[in-house]
Amino acid sequence: MRVYNFSPGPSALPLPVLEKAAAEMTDACGSGQSVMEMSHRSRDFKAIIEKTEALLRELMDIPPNYRVLFLQGGASLQFAMVPLNLAAVESGPRKRAAYVETGVWAKKAAGEAAKYVDTAIPASSGDRAYSYIPGLPPPDAAAAYYHITLNNTIVGTKWAKLPELPGTVPLVSDISSCILSEPLDVSRFGILYAGAQKNLGPAGTTVVIIREDLIGRAPGRTPVMLRYETHAGEGSMYNTPPCYGIYVIGLVLEWLKNLGGVKAMADRNQEKAELFYRYLDSSGLFRSPVEKPFRSLMNIPFTVSLEDEARRKDLEDRFVKEAAGAGLVNLAGHRLVGGMRASIYNAMPLEGVKALIAFMERFEEAGRNRHV
């Protein structure tokens, strides 16, 4: 029996996708071979990558003046590629880029960029443990770009409204944990990037959506594999791409399209999240640490409402262990913040959220009986 997997990534994949991939393991698309055996230069794989890109463009309504790249290295490699391609200089004064600090990954992105550009932090929510999205001062019109992390996987916040920037300043965003979870106006951004392993496919593939006028700006000393023009010029096949990951992403996109597309998925995600937050807000034992206007649809951290830290930690550890025994796995919070976290990405059915709530109600009742 399959468990309900609440992992933040690598995360659950839709069961129909896994079943189709299994059925095609030794004979993909009638080719008589596995995708893992195909030449990436072959006609068979060319059809796969082209179909995957076309589906992503359709589902995200990507304008024609944007390129779609399938890369490797995870979102973490983009922490370096973005500044190298948009703001690094061969010599002379360094350019400045703005990073809004809303969590661990946003902070890491800014730290990596600081190796190549001057980084400004116009706003941070670190003063309240990243439990909200901060307001922004008037933007710096001279900035090479503004970077935000649209959904913060660890702390469970999301941007409800995009920052308003001068037309000359590109907005760049890490959308790893929210891609395809609800409609997004791609034209508001210069670059979007996402590691696939949270909401799009298996680990090992990174999707980059980049406006064409931002390609070709890297200084000459930039390594060839870290230049966007390298991959854009070769259709993401300058070297061997993550072929199997691209194939599975295509299956996920087919599944999503058959469910009604991104708007239909957003309605499902809203229903799941509202149900879970409603329970947390009414619970006597569990609570959400995130301020209500900024709560994520995808990643929902929660804690036990006890002042005594040792007792709280003991009860949270017991909860995670007993939940796993009940088929509700990967509910431990990130090691940097503790507590618990339910990641309810697109592949998580409403039944999984209901099963989690039912278990939490039983755990809470048992705690009352134990006089916790």
Q: Catalytic residue among 158, 159, 174, 255, which?
A: 174
Hey, which bits of the chain come out as E strands?
4-5, 66-71, 96-99, 118-120, 146-149, 151-152, 157-158, 171-174, 191-195, 206-211, 286-287, 299-304, 328-329, 340-343
pLDDT at 58: 98
- pLDDT, averaged in runs of 10, over the chain (372 residues): 94 97 94 94 95 98 98 97 93 92 97 96 97 95 96 97 93 98 98 97 97 96 96 96 97 98 98 98 96 97 90 93 97 91 98 98 82 50
CB atoms inside a 10 Å sphere around CB 278:
11
User: Do 27 and 136 lie in a common domain?
Assistant: yes
Q: Catalytic residue among 44, 46, 61, 105, which?
A: 105
Based on the residue annotation, tell me whether 61 is a catalytic residue of this protein. no
- Looking only at the bridges linking them, the beta strands covering 146-149 and 96-99 are parallel
User: Do 27 and 75 lie in a common domain?
Assistant: yes
User: Do 104 and 240 lie in a common domain?
Assistant: yes
CA 298/CA 178 separation, integer angstroms: 7
Q: Assess if residue 7 is contained within a domain.
A: no
Q: Assess if residue 5 is contained within a domain.
A: no
Q: Assess if residue 9 is contained within a domain.
A: no
CA 150/CA 132 separation, integer angstroms: 12
User: Do 342 and 359 lie in a common domain?
Assistant: yes
Based on the residue annotation, tell me whether 46 is a catalytic residue of this protein. no
User: Do 62 and 182 lie in a common domain?
Assistant: yes
User: Do 254 and 273 lie in a common domain?
Assistant: no
Based on the residue annotation, tell me whether 174 is a catalytic residue of this protein. yes
Could you tell me if 351 and 2 are in contact, meaning their C-beta atoms sit under 8 angstroms apart? no
Q: Assess if residue 3 is contained within a domain.
A: no
CA 42/CA 44 separation, integer angstroms: 5
Domain total in the chain: 2
Last residue of one domain, picked from the residues 258, 283, 298: 258
pLDDT at 369: 67
pLDDT at 250: 98
User: Do 295 and 178 lie in a common domain?
Assistant: no
Last residue of one domain, picked from the residues 258, 285, 319: 258
Could you tell me if 208 and 228 are in contact, meaning their C-beta atoms sit under 8 angstroms apart? yes
Q: Assess if residue 8 is contained within a domain.
A: no
Q: Catalytic residue among 158, 159, 198, 255, which?
A: 198
User: Do 228 and 336 lie in a common domain?
Assistant: no
Domain that holds residue 323: 260-369
Q: Assess if residue 324 is contained within a domain.
A: yes
The amino acid that residue 77 corresponds to is: L
User: Do 175 and 279 lie in a common domain?
Assistant: no
CA 343/CA 169 separation, integer angstroms: 33
CA R_g for the chain:
21
Q: Assess if residue 34 is contained within a domain.
A: yes
| Token pair listed for 258 | 């058959």
CATH (domain of 282): 3.90.1150.10
Q: Assess if residue 348 is contained within a domain.
A: yes
pTM, whole model, 2 decimals?
0.96
User: Do 250 and 353 lie in a common domain?
Assistant: no
User: Do 200 and 129 lie in a common domain?
Assistant: yes
CATH (domain of 29): 3.40.640.10
Last residue of one domain, picked from the residues 258, 287, 317: 258
User: Do 279 and 233 lie in a common domain?
Assistant: no
Could you tell me if 116 and 80 are in contact, meaning their C-beta atoms sit under 8 angstroms apart? yes
pLDDT at 371: 53
